[in-house]
Each structure stands twice: as structure tokens, then as C-alpha cells.
């Protein structure tokens, strides 16, 4: 009897939950895909798909609309459509559509500087494309790009071998320019074969004008070429014109930072420097706006996922109630299993909420930092020091690019944080605090310890502000560390604020650091090891952080 009831129950569940995977592309979608993109006919067909009562047609319509936005560089605007399309493709088990929307999702999150979930999304897209060589190679090409930006150069190089081999077999139907650029950058960072690096990046630039290369991909190729400093003055002039016409401000700013033959653009030196300053400012404004909109979207997405989960949970409870009359003992077993799944899901949502809270902290401290740096630039401009402003913006641009590249992790090793702090201290000394000595007293054996990423920068910034404005000629800022049992102690000290007024704890930077300590303490198994203390004085000021030892 027990076996019969169990068999009936399992049969019902399998019938209700098992659905066949599909690679179907609706006829209306095929027709739209073959239309000229952004033509009036194409746009009408996309609107018709988006408003369709058929879920699969709606999913494809949203995919097409999101794809158009991503191509135009509007990744933030595409996110709601990508989210809805992915849900519909998954609910209909349509692997063709799902593989495409995941490819688009990974690219959008990468363009916005999101975390390592980019890699898992891209890996799922590749897995769904197994069996279609060219489709897989397209996804793998994007994957190798993400690997480069996360520092996995050897893996990126291995994937580029396979991707380029597939592209070569396809001949002129595929443009390999972006794959060339990615491979060149991987070889460069691995310090291998400089002749091949030069050959590959020049090959990529030579193919960049191919009509099948999208503007968003051209931008990526140019960025990588600029990172390798592989562009001639004529190529830089062409890159600047391309970026300016499409409002790619970050690209224009980086290209202008290497551009010297102003006559190629019929500009004077003064006009060129003003254009560089303007493009840097616009690039910073766009980053700040995109990050703010992206965070707002992620917060809302978290709420929607919780609601969907609760709705699913409620449906499952109703389904289980139907079986109650059939077999009480079986229902009890299933209910226990279900409760375990529910607790696991709730724990996952707690982790997600913690991640969103951390991102909120980061998105408040970034504007605090950016506004201070823009004030430094404004100081140069008010003094008509255009050359100093240009040099400062070039250094700031490199620092911000590295900062955005490394923004995904919650923790970072001390070595990488010190590298960032050295660059930041250089900016401070270049602006107003050239007389302030920056001292690092951290033993090499501590370099592999993990600390909250970016937590020291606001403290170093405050120390430069007060020690640098002290009348003393021997101003200094010092970072030191020591180990006390299972605790790591970090100290940021300076030569004091002299006769300046300083009210401890009122600065935004210090407040944000205290919030970060409280954030980690609330989620730590060793809460007593987390603390922050301050001691501000005329001749010496110290901020001391303690935290649990955390190894790489």
C-alpha cells in the first residue's frame, strides 16, 4: 500500500513539474530577426512581440529591445527587459532564447562593472550553446573578455586559442578583431611574445572599421589598444573622433591622454586640453549616474525575487495539501524536505540582502571620493594650471579604471590595497599635499591577509587633509599593522591637525568606515574582534581598526 501511494505521488509530481526543453523560435521572431535592425518595420514587429499575449513571443520581443539598448551603450536601461525575458525563457524551458538572453545579461553587467556573477552567467550561456560551434565561440569570446578583466589571463589565452581557430574556419563571415585584441592583452599581461602582441592588436585595429563590428565592440577594442599604448597619433585621432561622435566620454578621455599631434584634429593645444578635461568630467558623471541607477535596479530586483519565491512557495503548499488525503505519512516526509529547501532559500536571500547593503555603502563612498577629486581638479583650473590639471586627470583616470575594475569583491588582500593606496597618495601629493610624506610600515608576511576592500582609503584621505594643512614642515601620514593573536590591527596615523579645528567623528569618510566595520561585525562569527577607535591630537592623530585574521 505504501509503495503504491508513493508511486502515485511521484507520478503526479513528475507529470506536473516535468516539461520538455525547447529550441523553438516562433515564426514572428524569425521574421523580425531577418528584418533590418531599427528599421520602421523592425521596430513595429518588436513592439508587437513585446505586447503579445504569448509568453515566448513576449520574451523574444524583450530580448530584441534589450539587445538594441545594449548595442547603443544603454546597459542600465536594458536590465528590466533582460530580467523579464530571462524569467519567461526559463519558465518555458526555451534554451535557444535563454542562451541569448544570458549572453546579453553577462555583457550588460560587465559593462556596468558588476561582480563575478558575470562569469557564472557567461558559463551558463556557453553550456546552453554546446552543439552549435559558432554560437559557442561567440559566447566563449565574450567569456575570455571577462576573464581578462578579472585577471585570469592564462584561462583567457586558452579560450582565445579555441575561439580564433573556429573563427578562422568560418572565413570572412566572422570578424575576429575583438578576439585579436583580447588575446593581445592576455599575452601582454603574461609577458609573452611581444611581437605577437603588437601583430594582434594592429590586426584588430585594421579590422575595426568592418561594418559587422558593432560600435560597442569597437569601443572595447579601442580601450584594449589604448591600454597597450599601441595606437599611432593618426589612430588616436580616429579613435577620438569615433568616441566623440558616439558620446563615449571615457574612451575619448583616455585617447586624449595619449594624443599629442593636435593638428590632426585641427585643434590648438589649449582646445585639446579643454576637450580632455570635459570628456573626463562627463565620463565621471556618467559613471556616477550609472552606478546609482544600477544599485536602484538591483534593490528592486531583490524584492521582486523574494516575491516570486513566496508565490512559488505558496503554490507548492497548496499542491502538497491536495496529497494530504492520499497519504499522511508521505506528506509529512515531503513537507520536512520542503521546509529544508525553504530555509536554504531564506539563507540565500539573507546573503543577497547583505550584498546589497554592502553595495549601498560603496555607492555612498564613491561619490564622496569623486567630489573631493573633482574639487582638486577645480583648484588647478581656478589657478589656470591646465598642464597640472591634465596630468592630474590622467593619473586620476588610471586610478579610477583600476578602482572600478576591482570593485566587485567584499574583501581584498593587503597587498592589492596597498598598491591602490600608493596610487591614491600620489594623487594627493600631486594636488595639494606634496610636502606630506606617505609611510607604509606593513610586514611582507601580512600582504596575504584579507581586509574589507577600500576601507583604508577614506582614513588616508582624512589624514592627508588634516596633516597636510598643518603648519608643520614635517607632515606625514603612516599606515602600519600588527598581529595580536587571532586579531589583525591596522593603524592610520598622521602628524596631527596643528591649530586646525577638528571634531572627531563628524567627517563623512570616517562615518562610512564606522558603518563598514559595523556591517562586517554584524555578520561575523567573531564580533568581539571587530572595532574602531580614534584619537585625534595636535601633534599626532590615530585611527585604529581591529578585525579577525582572514587569509587568502
pLDDT of residue 503: 47
Distance CA 59, CA 320 (A): 30
Question: Any residues with CB less than 8 A from the CB of 36 and at least 6 apart, and which?
Answer: 42
Distance CA 289, CA 293 (A): 6
Best CA proximity match to 86, nearest among 75, 100, 71: 100
pLDDT of residue 374: 65
Which three three-digit cell numbers place residue 331? 506528506
Rounded mean pLDDT of 293-297? 66
Query: Residues of the chain with pLDDT > 90: what percent?
Result: 19
DSSP 67: H
Task: Check pLDDT > 60 for residue 352.
Answer: no
Distance CA 78, CA 97 (A): 16
- For 296-318, give the secondary structure using H, E and C: HHHHHHHHHHHHHHHHHHHHHHH
pLDDT band per the 50, 70, 90 thresholds, residue 16? very low
175: helix, coil or strand? coil
Q: Which of 40-54, 198-212, 387-401 has the lowest mean pLDDT?
A: 387-401
H or E stretch covering 533: strand 531-535
Cα–Cα–Cα angle for 172, 103, 287, rounded to 5 degrees: 105
Which three three-digit cell numbers place residue 181? 585584441
pLDDT tens profile 251-274: 888 899 899 998 899 889 899 889
Question: Any residues with CB less than 8 A from the CB of 247 and at least 6 apart, and which?
Answer: 73, 282
Mean pLDDT (the chain) is 79
* Bridge partner residues of 120 (DSSP): none
**370 or 113: which leads in pLDDT:** 113
H or E stretch covering 38: none
| Candidates 3.30.360.10, 1.10.357.10, 3.30.565.10, 3.30.930.10; CATH matching 410-552 | 3.30.565.10
Task: Check pLDDT > 70 for residue 14.
Answer: no
Q: Which of 29-33, 84-88, 196-200, 252-256 has the lowest mean pLDDT?
A: 29-33
Distance CA 339, CA 405 (A): 40
pLDDT band per the 50, 70, 90 thresholds, residue 77? confident
Question: Any residues with CB less than 8 A from the CB of 330 and at least 6 apart, and which?
Answer: 2, 5, 6, 9, 323
Distance CA 283, CA 252 (A): 9
pLDDT band per the 50, 70, 90 thresholds, residue 18? very low
Of the chain, the end-to-end C-alpha distance in Å amounts to 55
User: Is-contact 262 44, C-beta < 8 A?
Assistant: no
User: Is-contact 201 189, C-beta < 8 A?
Assistant: no
Amino acid at each position: 500500500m505504501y509503495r503504491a501511494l508513493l508511486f502515485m505521488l511521484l507520478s503526479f509530481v513528475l507529470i506536473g513539474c516535468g516539461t520538455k526543453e525547447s529550441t523553438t523560435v516562433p515564426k514572428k521572431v524569425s521574421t523580425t530577426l531577418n528584418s533590418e535592425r531599427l528599421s520602421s518595420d523592425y521596430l513595429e514587429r518588436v513592439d508587437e512581440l513585446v505586447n503579445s499575449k504569448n509568453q515566448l513571443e513576449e520574451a523574444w520581443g524583450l530580448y530584441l529591445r534589450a539587445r538594441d539598448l545594449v548595442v547603443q551603450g544603454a546597459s542600465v536601461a536594458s536590465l528590466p527587459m533582460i530580467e523579464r525575458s530571462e524569467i519567461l525563457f526559463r519558465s518555458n524551458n526555451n534554451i535557444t532564447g535563454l542562451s541569448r538572453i544570458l549572453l546579453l545579461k553577462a555583457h550588460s553587467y560587465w559593462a556596468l562593472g558588476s561582480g563575478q556573477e558575470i562569469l557564472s552567467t557567461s558559463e551558463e550561456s556557453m553550456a546552453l550553446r554546446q552543439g552549435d560551434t559558432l554560437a559557442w565561440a561567440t559566447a566563449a569570446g565574450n567569456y575570455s573578455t571577462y576573464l581578462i578583466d578579472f585577471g585570469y589571463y592564462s584561462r583567457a589565452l586558452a579560450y582565445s586559442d579555441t575561439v580564433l581557430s573556429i573563427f578562422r574556419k568560418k572565413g570572412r563571415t566572422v570578424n575576429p578583431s575583438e578576439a585579436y585584441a583580447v588575446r593581445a592583452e592576455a599575452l601582454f599581461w603574461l609577458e609573452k611574445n611581444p611581437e605577437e602582441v603588437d601583430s594582434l592588436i594592429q590586426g584588430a585595429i585594421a579590422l575595426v572599421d568592418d561594418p559587422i563590428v558593432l560600435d560597442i565592440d569597437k569601443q572595447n577594442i579601442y580601450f584594449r589598444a589604448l591600454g597597450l599604448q599601441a595606437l599611432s597619433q593618426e589612430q588616436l585621432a580616429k579613435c577620438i573622433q569615433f568616441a566623440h561622435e558616439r558620446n563615449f566620454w571615457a574612451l575619448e578621455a583616455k585617447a586624449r591622454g595619449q594624443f599629442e599631434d593636435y593638428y590632426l584634429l585641427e585643434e590648438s593645444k589649449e582646445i585639446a586640453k579643454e576637450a580632455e578635461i570635459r570628456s573626463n568630467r562627463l565620463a565621471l558623471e556618467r559613471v556616477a549616474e550609472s552606478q546609482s541607477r544600477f544599485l536602484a535596479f538591483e534593490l528592486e530586483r531583490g524584492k521582486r525575487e523574494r516575491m516570486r519565491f513566496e508565490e512559488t512557495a505558496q503554490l507548492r503548499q497548496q499542491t502538497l495539501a491536495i496529497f494530504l488525503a492520499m497519504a499522511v505519512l508521505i506528506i509529512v516526509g515531503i513537507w520536512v524536505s520542503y521546509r529544508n529547501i525553504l530555509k536554504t532559500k531564506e539563507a540565500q536571500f539573507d546573503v543577497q540582502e547583505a550584498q546589497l547593503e554592502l553595495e549601498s555603502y560603496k555607492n555612498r563612498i564613491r561619490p564622496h571620493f569623486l567630489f573631493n577629486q573633482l574639487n582638486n581638479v577645480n583648484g588647478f583650473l581656478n589657478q589656470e594650471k591646465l598642464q597640472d590639471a591634465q596630468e592630474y586627470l590622467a593619473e586620476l583616470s588610471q586610478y579610477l579604471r583600476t578602482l572600478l575594475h576591482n570593485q566587485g569583491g567584499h574583501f581584498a588582500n593587503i597587498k592589492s590595497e596597498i598598491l591602490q593606496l600608493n596610487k591614491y597618495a600620489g594623487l594627493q601629493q600631486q594636488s595639494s599635499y606634496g610636502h606630506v610624506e606617505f609611510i607604509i610600515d606593513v610586514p611582507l608576511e601580512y600582504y596575504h591577509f584579507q581586509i574589507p576592500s577600500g576601507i583604508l582609503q577614506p582614513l588616508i584621505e582624512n589624514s592627508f587633509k588634516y596633516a597636510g594643512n598643518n603648519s608643520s614642515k614635517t607632515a606625514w601620514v603612516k599606515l602600519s599593522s600588527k598581529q595580536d593573536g587571532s586579531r589583525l590591527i591596522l593603524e592610520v596615523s598622521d602628524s596631527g591637525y596643528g591649530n586646525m579645528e577638528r571634531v572627531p567623528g563628524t567627517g563623512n569618510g570616517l562615518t562610512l568606515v564606522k558603518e563598514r566595520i559595523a556591517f562586517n561585525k554584524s555578520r561575523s562569527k567573531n564580533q568581539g574582534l571587530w572595532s574602531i577607535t580614534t584619537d585625534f591630537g595636535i601633534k599626532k592623530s590615530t585611527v585604529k581598526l581591529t578585525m579577525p585574521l582572514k587569509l587568502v
